[in-house]
Amino acid sequence: MAFPSDLDIARSVTPRPITEIAHELGFRDDEIELYGAAKAKVTVEGIRRLEAERPRGKYVVVTAITPTPLGEGKSTTTVGLAEGLNVIGKRATVAIRQPSLGPVFGIKGGAAGGGYSQVIPMEDFNLHLTGDVHAIGAAHNLAAAFIDNHIHHGNALGIDPNGVLWPRVLDISDRALRDVVVGLGGRENGYPRQTQFVITVASEVMAILALASDLQDLRARLSRVVLATRRDGSPVTAEDLKVAGAMTVLLRDAIKPNLLQTLEGGPAFVHCGPFANIAHGNNSVIADRAALAGSEIVVTEAGFGADMGAEKFFDIKCRASGLKPDAAVIVATIRALKMHGGVGRIVAGKPLDPALLESNPDAVRAGAANLAKQIENVAAFGVPSVVAINLFPTDAEPEIEAIREVALQAGARDAVVARHFTDGGAGAADLATAVWDAAEAGAPDFHLLYPDELPLRDKIETIATRLYGADGIDVLPAAAKQLAQYEAMGYGRLPVCMAKTQYSLSHDAKLLGRPSGFRVPIREIRLSAGAGFVTAILGDMRTMPGLNSKPGGERIDIDADGNVVGLF
């Protein structure tokens, strides 16, 4: 009999009333805002109260090897691990990211987990949920409208029309909007200029929401956003344009974390953004705080490989929050390590290469050089790691042993097979035990990769050489000019958010495994003064994805009874 679809599994479970889950975490009725029976927001005041009354739980981040286009089941493992921790008797909460509609209707599909390790209600999770992403888009685009309106009405601030730094956003993948011209059609339609759209989850407003500690901090961060420069090069902020207050009003509900549940009835916070290839790719600080106040242990997720989302979790998110992780989980699949070892190809939307289904421990061992590097990357921050071997039915025991051998030699505390996709929390109980032991030992030597005072260029080079294995960086002229400009503005102490392909440790998606002998080109630098970082664009990375030739949206529909179908 065929294994049921994620959507069928999700619908087979009757969710617990979300108020029960909120009460178990310690929230009172007046600290819960219901969005139906199965989802709610919790208030910042309730989070603060719990933090004052309870000890902080243990803090675990889930990351991965360099993924294939199919992903390695990181979100599924994040949920399954939390379920497994509850199975072994620990009060565990998962804190996960809300997906973008771009991937949902594109190649990747949803991000609620999979199989018997999901967050429910699955349709709500993957679609609009409580409207946070739409609020972010509205706040962002309001600032964009204020810029052009100010220029149209006399430009009292002296904004250089060629110095507008703020794009517009849309939460749908649409390559036609990467480079656009606005203001055509005569003076009444504004000032013609070239600009761009980025996907909403790459908006600085999303990053600000994910890093803000409360509504007042959100307001202060929005006020610092640099929207443009004057002709003399000085910055024009959202506060200068008198739009920061209105942006905050649009986000006053969005700052409250969303509470859902796993298939097994455990608590799950869903808040803020994905896309660790072009953004910082982590869920919100405030959701983690809510979970840590109500649980013995919290499992959160960082996007893509440890060179990307985990680096940003440590260097950006932990720098902003002051929270210190206790352990990390690195997800690996045998099929991905075979590909990194030079066997087979993985193409989204096409059947799996038969070579990847044959037992080949030598290819796994060769590809596990990538796993070893990601273990080293986590260790560079002083954090202990456990490798989760996300098992597929075709995986063979010699291949599993090859992963264990490489992982332990590279410094992982353990490498554990996990069957959470098919068996839920029970299938992750062994992994949960290993992770709890690692978290109990903790990370007494946790540290950031670089200090605040290091120049921006040196921060970029430190990440590229130490985490990617590059020989160095090549800063292109436009990026060099931007680095000098932002340091002259006083932003040199900010951390760096690297935007690069997720499919390689390098900037080049074709370089698999553990590449060496490469240099990283830095094409562009973007300032996110409100979020508190600068973004380095590596190679040909783009911040507005395009749809593939067979987008997932083709299969999504409504049946005769009004139910969603085709959502994976």
Give the tens place of pLDDT for each residue, 284-328.
999 999 999 999 999 999 989 999 999 999 999 999 999 999 999
247, 227 Cβ separation under 8 angstroms: no
For residues 274 and 259, give the distance between their C-alpha atoms in angstroms, rounded to a whole number: 17
Average pLDDT of span 137-166: 95
pLDDT at 109: 63
Could you tell me if residue 99 is inside a domain? Answer: yes
Which tokens go with 132? 């946070």
Predicted TM-score (pTM) above 0.85: yes
- The per-residue pLDDT for 412 is 98
Crossing angle of helices 361-379/397-410, nearest 10°?
30
Query: Which residue has better confidence, 342 or 551?
Result: 342
Interatomic CA distance for residues 151 and 560, integer angstroms: 51
Q: What residues does 194 pair with on adjacent strands?
A: 181
Task: State how far the Cα of 402 lies from the Cα of 409, in Å rounded to an integer.
Answer: 11
Q: Does 87 score more than 70 pLDDT? A: yes
Could you tell me the two tokens for 149? 């309106």
Largest CA-CA distance found in the chain, in angstroms, rounded: 72
- Classify residue 398: in a domain, yes or no: yes
pLDDT of the residue at 110? 66
Beta strands in 243-303 (DSSP E): 258-262, 267-270, 297-301
Amino acid 313: pLDDT: 96
Give the count of domains, the chain.
3
What per-residue confidence (pLDDT) applies to 36? 94
Structure tokens given for 561:
């009874």
Torsion of CA 405, 410, 416, 421, to 10 degrees: -110
In the predicted structure, residue 207 carries a pLDDT above the cut 70: yes
Q: Are residues 480 and 372 in the same domain?
A: no
Do 311 and 414 sit in the same domain of this protein?
Answer: yes
- Does residue 551 lie within any of the structural domains? no
The CATH number that applies at residue 516 is 3.10.410.10
191 — pLDDT class (breaks 50, 70, 90): confident
Confidence of residue 420 (pLDDT cuts 50, 70, 90): very high
DSSP state of 552: G
Q: What is the pLDDT of residue 479?
A: 97
- Domain-ending residue, one of 190, 215, 247: 247
Nearest of 96, 86, 88 to residue 125 by alpha carbon: 96
Query: Residue 389's pLDDT is what?
Result: 97
The CATH number of residue 113's host domain is 3.40.50.300
Q: Look-up: residue for tokens 């910055």?
A: 235
262/137 same-domain check: no
Residues 290 and 323 in one domain: yes
Q: Is residue 545 classed as helix, strand or coil in its secondary structure?
A: coil
Q: Which domain holds residue 37?
A: 7-130+254-441
- The reply to whether 423 and 472 lie within a common domain is no
pLDDT at position 382 over 80? yes
Least confident of 84-98, 99-113, 498-512: 99-113
Q: What is the pLDDT at residue 107?
A: 67
What pLDDT band is residue 1 in, cutting at 50, 70 and 90? low
% of the chain residues with pLDDT over 70:
98
Per-position DSSP letters for 330-380, written without gaps between them: EEE-HHHHHHHTT-----TTSPPPGGGGS--HHHHHHHHHHHHHHHHHHHT
pLDDT at 352 over 90: no
Instruction: Find all residues with CB under 8 Å of 80, minimum gap 6, and list them.
Output: 113, 116, 117, 418, 420, 421, 424, 425, 427, 428, 431
Q: Same domain, yes or no, for 126 and 140?
A: no
Mean pLDDT of 254-264: 98
**Exposed / middle / buried, residue 7 (Cβ in 10 Å: 0-12, 13-18, 19+):** buried
Q: What is the pLDDT of residue 368?
A: 97
314 or 548, higher pLDDT: 314
Do 112 and 159 reside in the same domain of the chain?
no
Residues 279, 206 contacting (CB under 8 angstroms): yes
Q: Between β-strands 58-64 and 297-301, what pairing exists: parallel, antiparallel or unpaired?
A: parallel
pLDDT of 362 strictly over 70: yes
**Mean pLDDT computed over every residue of the chain:** 93
In the predicted structure, residue 154 carries a pLDDT above the cut 90? yes
- Residue 4 pLDDT grade (very low, low, confident, very high; cuts 50, 70, 90): confident
Q: From CA 483, how far away is CA 481, in angstroms rounded?
A: 5
Quickly list H helices, 442-568.
456-463, 477-488
Q: How high is the pLDDT of residue 551? A: 79
Asked whether residue 450 is domain-assigned, the answer is: no
Give 438's DSSP letter.
Answer: H
CA distance to 15, 128, 139, 149, per residue, from 189 (Å): 50, 32, 21, 10
Nearest to 61 by CA among 286, 282, 293, 373: 282
pLDDT at 472 over 90: yes
Q: Which helix (H) or strand (E) holds 32?
A: strand 32-34
Within this chain, do residues 283 and 196 fall inside the same structural domain, yes or no? Answer: no
Q: Which residues of 361-398 are buried (b: 16+ CB within 10 A; e: fewer)?
A: bebbbbbbbbbbbbbbbbbbbebbbbbbbbbbeebeee
d(Cα 37, Cα 60) in Å, to the nearest integer? 29
Helix axes 477-488, 456-463, angle to 10 degrees: 130
Let me know whether 342 and 470 are in one domain.
Answer: no
Q: How many angstroms separate the CA atoms of 314 and 307, rounded?
A: 11
pLDDT at position 558 is: 80
Residue 490, token pair as written in the block: 């006083």
259 plus 405 within the same structural domain: yes
Question: Are 136 and 126 in a shared domain?
Answer: no
Q: How far apart are alpha carbons 109 and 106 in whole angstroms?
A: 6
Q: What is the mean pLDDT of residues 363-368?
A: 96
Same domain, 226 and 169: yes
| CA dist., res. 552 & res. 313, Å (int) | 29
pLDDT of 364 higher than 80: yes
* Percent of the chain whose predicted confidence (pLDDT) is above 90: 79
Tell me whether residue 345 is in a domain. yes
Residue 567 within a domain: no
* CB distance 93 to 59 below 8 Å: no
Distances, alpha carbon 547 to alpha carbons 102, 175, 176, 309, 554, in Å: 8, 7, 10, 23, 11
User: Can you tell me whether residue 90 is helix, strand or coil?
Assistant: coil
**Sequence-separated (6 or more) residues with CB below 8 Å from residue 138:** 250
Start-end of H helices in 27-98:
44-53, 74-87
Q: Which token pair is 109? A: 């599909």
Does residue 552 sit within a domain? no
pLDDT score at 306: 97
User: What CA–CA distance (Å, rounded) separates 503 from 521?
Assistant: 16
pLDDT in the model for residue 542: 80
